[in-house]
Amino acid sequence: MSQTMGWQALMRAGLHGLGLAPDVFWSLTPAELRVMLGDAGADAPLLNDGLAALMAAYPDNAGEGTI
């Protein structure tokens, strides 16, 4: 599946909505732009509780099928 970026809308939001200079806009990563546009929770970091839950659900099985 191919996704396209709505560059016109993103540029309008960054340059006009946020008041960013063009060089600042183009130096941002997509994640940084999402945070600035208010979508900070979309890719929240994995914290200790989340990591503990993943480790409990998928424990390492040392020596079983590892190289």
Instruction: List the Cα angle 40/45/51 in 5-degree steps.
Output: 150
Q: List C-alpha distances in Å: 28 to 17, 31, 55.
A: 15, 8, 33
Residues 4-13, mean pLDDT to the nearest whole number? 85
- Domain coordinates in residue numbering, the chain: 8-57
Residue 28 has a pLDDT of 93
Q: Considering the entire predicted model, what is its pTM?
A: 0.52
Residue 12 has a pLDDT of 92
Write the pLDDT tens digit of every residue in 17-55: 999 999 999 999 988 888 888 875 555 677 888 888 878
Residue 3 has a pLDDT of 65
The DSSP string of the chain is ------HHHHHIIIIIIS---HHHHHHS-HHHHHHHTT-TTTTPPP-HHHHHHHHHHS---TTSS--
Q: Please determine, for residue 62, whether its predicted confidence score (pLDDT) is greater than 70.
A: no
